[in-house]
Structure formats: structure tokens, C-alpha cells
Amino acid sequence: MGKKILLVTAELAEKLVRRYAAESALASDVKVLPISVASFMTSELLINELKKIKLNDLSMILVPGLVRSDLERVEEELGLPTFKGSKYAADIPLVLDNLDKIELSKENPACELLNSDIKASIEKQLKMAEEVAKEKLSEPHNFLIGKGKAAVAAGRDFPPRVIGEIADAPLLSDEKIIEVAKRYLQSGAEIIDIGMLAGKEMADEVPRLVSILRGNFDAPISVDTFNKAEIKKAIECEIDLILSINGATIDEFQNLDVPAVLVPIDPKRGHYPRAPKEKAKYLMKLVGKSEKLGYERVIADSILEPVNRGFVESLLSFYELRGLNPELPILIGVGNVIELYDADSVGMTALLVGAASELGASLVLTVEASDKTRGNVAEVKKAREMMTISKLRSTVPKDLGLDLLILKEKRKVFDQYDKNVEKMARAIHASAKREFKLDPKGFFKIFVDKSEIVAVLYAGRDPKIVIRGKTAEGICDEIIKRGLIDEIEHAAYLGRELQKAEIALKTGRSYLQEKKLF
């Protein structure tokens, strides 16, 4: 584009606009109008001020996305296409660098249009990746897990499939099994794994667990156990995938027609290789043996160990394994690392799924066995999508249009504060704390219940009204509409507490009334 874009802004945002405009490769000029904030920008002001400058070398005008002026009139008066740009200065380079990909609007901010277009583009690319992979399903390194409409295609040409393990499944009620499986599938899991109990045989529970899942969900089911009796019972129940068979049990399942994961250990002989090359070679030995025994489909799992318990060596063993057989389907379980590390799971998940993608893993297994890993299935799914897009574009997993930034952000967005207002108004340093005053209408107890905020109005010891909702704003509006509050101090207090509850709901933090979140 030969001509420049004119970015119109207000005085307070000038430095930010110039700074972010310089980050774009697209040539632009900045025009600062004689007002403090963009929300005061009127059509008259735009027209009058822009008529004072030379417009011949400009291709279009972008005004701040929050402006409510009549841009049709501005465009007509100035003779230049005029549209809404981004709402925040930090998004200017994103908008400028993608002008050829969006249809600008006079009503909607460019950043919102761009986000919508990017989301649609990502969904299209992910769908295309699946369709391209399905054309290669007949290749020997690709396969189906499950049957009929519940079948899931997997293999070297497909993005890694997400397996969600229901930990200690035999100890859970039917209702709990359904609840966890439903949450996993809604979060993006494609296979539901029945996690059995280590060191305790509970083969009689397998039919119940398989029946519950089969009766409620159209998804492949796997069983996670080393116990041969439990594996045999699962095979009788037509399980779709076995996790896992080892050196001690491999001879028990000749002519196995169910996909099975092999792991490089032999508990009977006490053989647990740790050195990467030794581990990979032993696993390949088991793969070769499985072929002689008539196993129809095997997947290799070199077992990713926890940090400080051989993590690096175990990761290298996957690398060695891939070198020995570039086409072998691989499973990588991230739970050992994430569950046994007191750190937020989201960053570790992004890195581990990135490594799994580089290694060409066909399956990624995760488990939400503790409060700190709640939501990890969704994190694995998002990380998988990021790596799929990243591979399609041959880029690093950055600036993709989707991310795993939860508490941090790529660019800080804020309104510039004008300290000059303190010269025109009385500045007060807040320090006072008012004494508690009981509202005549009663008091509220606030809770977070699963996926909702609950506010209970009490009059004395008796609950009067229960209000449920997903946002602080919605509950506040309901309280005001019903006239359930009289004191302004009580209203301010409720606003603070309900907002804390909403943040807790979004971040997975614990919420206790009047306690700090972080």
C-alpha cells in the first residue's frame, strides 16, 4: 500500500499510539486531536481538525474503536474512507498488519472484527487438518480406536488425540463416573480412560464401568491397568484401547485385536530400564514380540517420569524411540509431570504437548486427579490445537490467534491516567475503613458452587432468597431489581465479594467470603 494510514487519537493516548504504530510494518501517521480522551471525539471535531491537514497522501482514516461518532458523515466530508480501528492502542499493530484480512466497519472496532475472523480461520484450518489426515487413514501408521460412530481416527498423520483418565474409577459411583466423563468430553477429550487402582485387583468392577460409559457417551473407552485379570475382563467387555501391557503380561494376549499400549517395564523380573537408549531398545523389543504374537495394533509409551525422578532421561527415551522407528504410534502421558509438580498446570501443559507434537505422538493422556489440575483436559486440547496450527503454518506457537495465556497477557491494555486532573480536583488518598453496619434487609452469604456463584440472603438465621448465576453483574442486578439491599456500604461490599467469586470461578481458585483470592 503506497499511501499511509492516518491514526487519529486523543492527547492522553498519543505516546502509546505512536509506540504501537511503530511496531507495524505498515506506514502510518498519527493525528492528535485537542481532547484528553477518545470517547469525547465527535464528528464535528474530527471533520474540523482533519480538514486542517494534508490528506492527499493518505489511503484511509482509522479512529479509536471506542468512538461513537457518525463516521459516514466524516467520510463524506473528508473524501477519505473512515473506519473504526482498535479499541486499545496495544492492538494497533495487530490491526495494521492484518488490514488485508478484514473488512473494516464504521460500527464495530477492527480488533473485534479481526478476532472473529481469526477464530473462523482457525476453525477452518483445524477442520482442514482433520480432513487431510482422514484421506491418509488407510496408511499403515494410522488407525481407528473404537467402532461405529464412536470411533476416533489416530496415528502419525493426525493431531494427537486427547485421552482423559478417570482416576480410581472403581471407587466412584455411577453418577460420579458420568459427571467426570461428561466434563472431560465437553473439555475436549476424545477418549475416556478407566483408571483402575494400582496394586489392587478389581476386575469385577470393569463391566460396570464400561457399561456406564457405553450407555451414556459415544466415545471410545480405554482401561488403564497392568493387571492381567482386569485387562482380560476389559477385553471381554469389548474395550477400545488397553493401557498398558508390559514385559510381564505381553505373552498373555496372543492375537490381540484391540489397540494396546506397550510400556518398557517387566515387574516380574524387576526390569525397569532408565537409560534412554536402553529403554527405547527394550520397548522396540516388545513391539517386535507383539508382532510375532499377533497383536493387531500397538502404541508405544516410554513413560514420562516426574521432574527430579528422571524426567529429562524419560523425555530423551521418547526421542531415541522415535529415531528407532519414525512411524510407530506413540502415547505420552503428561499426568506424572503435572500432578507431581506444585505449579500451575497450564504452562507445563503447553510445553509438554509441544514436545509431544514434535515427537509425533498419536495420543496424549492426562488426568484431573487433584484440584490443582482441574481443567487440564481443556488445556491439553487447546495446546494440541495451537501445535496443529503452528505446524500448518510452519511457525513457532506464537501469534496464532489462540493461546494458553490465563493470568498473563501478550499486551497490557489500559487507559492512560492524566495526572493533570489532580490540579483541577481534590485528590484524596483512600485509607479510611468504615465500621460494619447491618443492612435492615439482611445479609448475604456468597458461595461458588461448581460452575455458578450463589448468593443467599439471610434475615437473622433464616435464609430467605437464593440467587444463582455465572457473573457478579447478573447477581448484583437481580439483587437491586428485587430491592434486597438498602445500605450503600452493603452494596459496595457485595460488589467486591461477588467479583472475587467470579474471578475464582474463572481461574479455578478457592473462594471464601472475606478471604483474599491470591
Strand, helix or coil for residue 350: helix
- Is residue 162 predicted with pLDDT exceeding 70? yes
Q: Mean per-residue pLDDT for 123-134? A: 93
**Alpha carbon distance, N-terminus to C-terminus of the chain:** 48
- Which phi and psi angles does 85 have, rounded to 5°? -90, -145
Distance in angstroms (rounded) separating the CA atoms of residues 71 and 311 = 59
- What are the grid coordinates assigned to 89, written together? 492502542
Which alpha helices (DSSP H) does 188-328 contain, by range? 206-216, 228-236, 276-292, 311-324
Q: Would you state the pLDDT for residue 274?
A: 95
**SS3 sequence of 21-81:** HCCCCCCEEEEECCCCCHHHCCHHHHHHHHCCCCCCCEEEEEECCCCCCCHHHHHHHHCCC
Mean pLDDT score of the chain, rounded to an integer?
Answer: 94
The helix (run of H) or strand (run of E) holding residue 380 is helix 376-393
Weakest-pLDDT range from 120-124, 307-311, 465-469, 503-507: 120-124
- Nearest alpha-carbon partner for 264 in 318, 200, 214: 318
For residue 398, give Cα distances in angstroms to 54, 128, 348: 39, 20, 16
- Is residue 130 predicted with pLDDT exceeding 70? yes
Task: Report DSSP state, residue 418.
Answer: -
What are the tens digits of pLDDT across the range 335-391? 999 999 999 999 999 999 999 999 999 999 999 999 999 999 999 999 999 999 999
CATH class of 4-121: alpha beta
Q: Mean per-residue pLDDT for 453-475? A: 95
For residue 77, give Cα distances in angstroms to 29, 47, 53, 70, 371: 20, 7, 14, 11, 60
What are the tens digits of pLDDT across the range 263-287? 999 999 999 999 999 999 999 999 9
- What are the grid coordinates assigned to 129, written together? 487438518
pLDDT band, residue 235 (cuts 50/70/90): very high
Q: Would you state the pLDDT for residue 212?
A: 98
Strand, helix or coil for residue 484: coil
Neighbours of 325 (CB within 10 A): 15
Q: Would you state the pLDDT for residue 82?
A: 95
Q: Which residues belong to CATH 3.40.50 in the chain?
A: 4-121
Task: Report DSSP state, residue 101.
Answer: G
- Is residue 1 predicted with pLDDT exceeding 60? no
Q: Which long-range contacts (CB under 8 A, 24 or more apart) does 63-69 make?
A: 63/8, 63/38, 64/8, 64/9, 64/10, 64/13, 64/38, 65/109, 65/110, 65/111, 65/112, 66/38, 66/39, 66/109, 67/38, 67/39, 67/41, 68/39, 69/41, 69/42, 69/43
Distance in angstroms (rounded) separating the CA atoms of residues 46 and 31 = 10
- Which phi and psi angles does 263 have, rounded to 5°? -125, 145
Neighbours of 52 (CB within 10 A): 7
The helix (run of H) or strand (run of E) holding residue 393 is helix 376-393
Q: Mean per-residue pLDDT for 124-151? A: 93
Q: Mean per-residue pLDDT for 473-488? A: 95
Neighbours of 146 (CB within 10 A): 22
Pairing assessment for the beta strands 260-262 and 241-245 based on DSSP bridges: parallel
Strand, helix or coil for residue 455: strand
Report yes or no: 314 and 305 within 8 Å, Cβ to Cβ: yes
Q: Which residues belong to CATH 3.20.20.20 in the chain?
A: 141-393
- Is residue 177 predicted with pLDDT exceeding 90? yes
For residue 335, give Cα distances in angstroms to 136, 339, 395, 401: 30, 5, 27, 27
- What are the grid coordinates assigned to 156, written together? 502419525
- Is residue 108 predicted with pLDDT exceeding 80? yes
Distance in angstroms (rounded) separating the CA atoms of residues 73 and 61 = 13
Weakest-pLDDT range from 35-39, 161-165, 338-342, 437-441: 35-39
Q: Give the contacts of 33 (CB within 8 A, at least 6 positions apart).
A: 8, 9, 10, 11, 41, 45, 46, 49
What are the tens digits of pLDDT across the range 482-500? 999 999 999 999 999 999 9
Strand, helix or coil for residue 396: coil
Burial 374-408, CB ≥16 within 10 A → b, else e: ebbbbbbbbbbbbbbbbeeeeeebeebbbbbeeee
What are the tens digits of pLDDT across the range 377-427? 999 999 999 999 999 888 899 988 899 999 888 878 777 777 888 888 988
Which alpha helices (DSSP H) does 99-173 contain, by range? 110-134
- Is residue 2 predicted with pLDDT exceeding 70? no
Q: Give the contacts of 52 (CB within 8 A, at least 6 positions apart).
A: none
Q: Cell 506506514 maps to which residue?
A: 27
Q: Which CATH code fits 141-393? A: 3.20.20.20
Task: Provide the greatest CA pair distance for the chain.
Answer: 88
